[in-house]
Amino acid sequence: MIIKEVQDEIVDEFSMFDDWMQRYEYIIDLGKSLPLIDEQYKTEDNIINGCQSKVWVHAEQNGDKVVFTADSDAILTKGIIAILIRTFSNQKAADILEANTDFIDKIGLKEHLSPTRANGLVSMIKKIKMYALAFNAKN
């Protein structure tokens, strides 16, 4: 599935909920389904700077795709990174770099986060794009 299709699917899922309490619960559920990052990748190199909670993102190349794993010590943040992992994992580095993230605005996520969490979200996206840039440069 291409990135835009995944993003559209996420927007559709969020549109099923009437209020933000339901959306928060859904984000938390998404975090619970996030495959756990291997403990060896919970390092300073993989930590996201700018988040109030700890978030680790690890990437490796598998053929022409970038595969991400992640974890967080906060349940809501874990759900947020789960959305990003679902969107960008198993995609080509060039496609990740070209992808926009307006789906985040469409689901209203940024406006319903505290300023520090919103900054953390931006930092998570930057880290994912930096990994993609590094893998893209290798190819």
Catalytic residues: 51
Read off the amino acid at residue 99. A
Beta-sheet pairing, 91-92 with 55-62: unpaired
For residues 56 and 114, what is the distance between their CA atoms, to the nearest angstrom? 20
Beta bridge partners of 89: none
The helix-helix angle for 75-88 and 115-138 (nearest 10°) equals 30
Q: Half-sphere exposure of residue 3, counting CA atoms within 13 Å on the CB side?
A: 22
